Structure 1
């Protein structure tokens, strides 16, 4: 599909949505697969000044209902399967990106090709809600205004820093996989197109994308979570294919282990970029092949240098800056960070203060100006690049009648980055059924939060001040997991 044809799709979507009443401030939920029509729908909604919410296919029914209840006025779908995702009894007006969904087909509207496409969003209107993973039980909507959306560096090619320009110059043929509901995926395909590249959507989205799709479609750039990188390296070891066309592979969600990074250098060459960021603002820092070449092991122990648009402050618990090189909590600010969590002033106040956003991650900057992560202030586990909070999982497990206490923590896992390990104390003599416990967590929090390890214990080790000692628990019982 040419750029002109894509622009025509955008024009059609603008005309159809406008005719259906979409305009500045309209809450638009987008539930689509990955297609040019879906991308055009996102762009059209932004042009009209709507408040756009991409609904991820990985949400549980409860989480999806929560997202769709967030002041949504209309849903955009591209087929009957997406209509079904709205849930039984849903009363939202539905707009379709083609016939067959039993809804208004917005792409069938008559289009005036001479009418200019003028942005309808006001600077301080909320442009989109980007939802967190929902690992706390219900996902939080990070509100980003049109002013912030315009300030994101990826939308300003003439202002790209040298590193950004080098990275995006590699995206001549960018592999578009995942879901457009992800702000990261949407931003990267936008960068590709603004930089003059071609976005490639695999014909069979169910087939293994990496590394075979890279070889088949002669892909020059892609983005994927760290566990997918590890799976790709394992696949290349067993069934080698020619991926010499690859010039940039961006990984995100969790740090790459130094051993695996070195393996990637051997298998792929100097093409690997490590993106460290958060849903609340996007990229914070980027580790590039140039950093690794210049600083070696010091670079591999870091997540790169902060992006030029992002200011980083390392602070102590009292929120005062720590001395250079010391570990503290990472605070950030930039023109494109969120203005707050949608309809959630309590959590907003916890993370935003004086124009800064606290990441809840611990870190330090080294003598090269590289940012090193040193843990998290929150009790979270990163599974397949998604944050899973231990507290909600513990609370759900403890609601089972056969469970008296539950303790959850993360353990390293090369397949998923980290894995969730749960310890439960029985309420009586009956041993809790692991299948029932997994089903309970799956229903309440979604599949990503289901523990992959579960150990039944009779007592819990304690710290000196009487609190449960999770690390001692893992050291004592970790090998007995089932």
Structure 2
């Protein structure tokens, strides 16, 4: 149990459920789970974990699909004070073994995830079932007494390990303490920043999919609870239909999270064959920046429902741009919103000195619920977490009204003749063409210059981008060193298991083309 007068996290989540009684909080197909049933599920799983010897500080790997039981399992593991490592789908066997080697005491799986691959990677570790899993005790069937569970997490213990996408190798684990989760705002309406309050009003039916290991998916699920809404599980697409807009229509969703590539597909689908999205009131764009022209197009096609969020695994939400802000002042489309009062942002130059508004530099951020470091990586921890600040390694500026403008990644660079060419500015120039829906830049080895710029572009609907015209556009705007050696037109960008553009695969494609040439 935590020290002090009040139990710590996730008491706030338990309180939300305790005040809900039979209010529907989760919908899964024809099944609707009320707040009381969810509370009992959490109590059962917590009792099962304690019976299995899981308590404060123990590492628990959560390998689960999206279901009421999965949500209950995550909360229950934090009730007992465990270090909860959410393992997302799509990892390679080597990555799975790598993550399960992080002092894990037990693995939680459900019937949809207890695959031979997982069992092989988890060999030697206790396997605990969330539902009926062969060879594992079913924690959802554990006996509980009538006393509500009391959270046992200690403030300085790690509550959650959030893994990055692993786009450069094995995923990195960001460590978030129980104190940090207690300082977060999702479960506390009185702490909501204005943009979050605006979004929360639209969470009547929040569509959840993929994995509750996703930081964004889970936190906006808790926000939905606090807003009085229902989390609605998206069923797999039918007969090859695109996920969006099919899932939005079928589940009458009022809100969901969407990546930039999926948003582009949704806009294109609505242009080609519009469907009734009358229930939809909020789409939170997450994972990567959205070019102002594409954001304007999404607003024009979908209506004032697009929220443009900016954050990192290490920090949580940094800022958010609401539809009302965009429509009131179209100049805001080039920003990612204004940080709320609870978030501090500094723009610093190459020497680490803060610069005034309007001057470009690197963002350093402090948020209430930021991580404290990376698992077993003191070097990277020291580089990113400095004197209470998180070094984002994102380049940008703050304008005179306090809005953030992203200009690229400090490390997303191509080194041409020993000079750094940042991918972000090149991508923005390419995406400014009316023929281009999306643009991505990667570095490829080059015998003459060390590295060369290779660009991939996704055409705007009905358009055929001319690579030479695009190369000329970059030359005109940014100069010869930034001009892509090659521009490749692709139908769609490959995405990682986390739903983000997969630049590793694009780099592989570029190298294959170079070898073939």
Unaligned runs of 5+ in 1: 417-440, 459-480
Query: What is the CA–CA distance in structure 2 between the aligned matches of 1:144 and 1:81, rounded to whole Å?
Result: 25
| Deviation for aligned residue 1:352 | 1.3
- Identify if the C-alpha distance between structure 1 residues 14 and 404 changes in structure 2 by more than 3 Å, giving closer, same or farther: farther
- Equivalent residue number for residue 84 of structure 1: 116
- Identify if the C-alpha distance between structure 1 residues 106 and 278 changes in structure 2 by more than 3 Å, giving closer, same or farther: same
Query: What is the CA–CA distance in structure 1 between the aligned matches of 2:163 and 2:143, rounded to whole Å?
Result: 34
Query: What is the CA–CA distance in structure 1 between the aligned matches of 2:276 and 2:161, rounded to whole Å?
Result: 39
- Identify if the C-alpha distance between structure 1 residues 283 and 85 changes in structure 2 by more than 3 Å, giving closer, same or farther: farther
| Deviation for aligned residue 1:87 | 5.0
CA contact (8 A) 1:123 1:147 kept: yes
| Deviation for aligned residue 1:155 | 2.3
CA contact (8 A) 1:135 1:389 kept: no
1:335-377 Cα offsets, whole Å, 9 max, x none, are 2111111111110011111111111111001122210011121
1:250-305 Cα offsets, whole Å, 9 max, x none, are 00112222222222112221111011111111111111112212321x21111111
Q: 1:158 aligns with which of 173, 190, 196?
A: 190
1:197-219 Cα offsets, whole Å, 9 max, x none, are 01111233575331122222221
CA contact (8 A) 1:24 1:49 kept: yes
For the pair 1:377 / 2:432, whether they are aligned, the reply is no
Q: 1:141 aligns with which of 156, 166, 173?
A: 173
Paired residues in the alignment total 419
1:440-466 Cα offsets, whole Å, 9 max, x none, are x99xxx9872234346559xxxxxxxx
| Cα RMSD (Å) | 2.9
Query: What is the CA–CA distance in structure 2 between the aligned matches of 1:100 and 1:62, rounded to whole Å?
Result: 23
- Equivalent residue number for residue 180 of structure 1: 212
- Equivalent residue number for residue 505 of structure 2: 450
1:419-450 Cα offsets, whole Å, 9 max, x none, are xxxxxxxxxxxxxxxxxxxxxx99xxx98722
Unaligned runs of 5+ in 2: 1-32, 414-422, 428-439, 461-495
Q: 2:333 aligns with which of 287, 300, 319?
A: 300
* Structure 1 segments (4+ residues) deviating >6 Å: 380-383, 388-391, 403-406
What is the DSSP-based 3-state SS (H/G/I as helix, E as strand, rest coil) of the residue aligned with 1:86?
helix
What is the DSSP-based 3-state SS (H/G/I as helix, E as strand, rest coil) of the residue aligned with 2:358?
coil
- Once the two structures are superposed, the pairs formed by residues 4-153 of structure 1 within 5 Å of their partners are 4-79=36-111, 81-88=113-120, 90-112=123-145, 114-153=146-185
| Deviation for aligned residue 1:333 | 0.8
| Deviation for aligned residue 1:379 | 2.5
What is the DSSP-based 3-state SS (H/G/I as helix, E as strand, rest coil) of the residue aligned with 1:104?
coil
Task: Point out the more displaced range, 173-182 or 74-83.
Answer: 74-83
For the pair 1:310 / 2:354, whether they are aligned, the reply is no
Q: Normalization by structure 1: what TM-score?
A: 0.81
What is the DSSP-based 3-state SS (H/G/I as helix, E as strand, rest coil) of the residue aligned with 1:189?
helix
Query: What is the CA–CA distance in structure 2 between the aligned matches of 1:447 and 1:164, rounded to whole Å?
Result: 29
1:25-46 Cα offsets, whole Å, 9 max, x none, are 1100011111110110001001
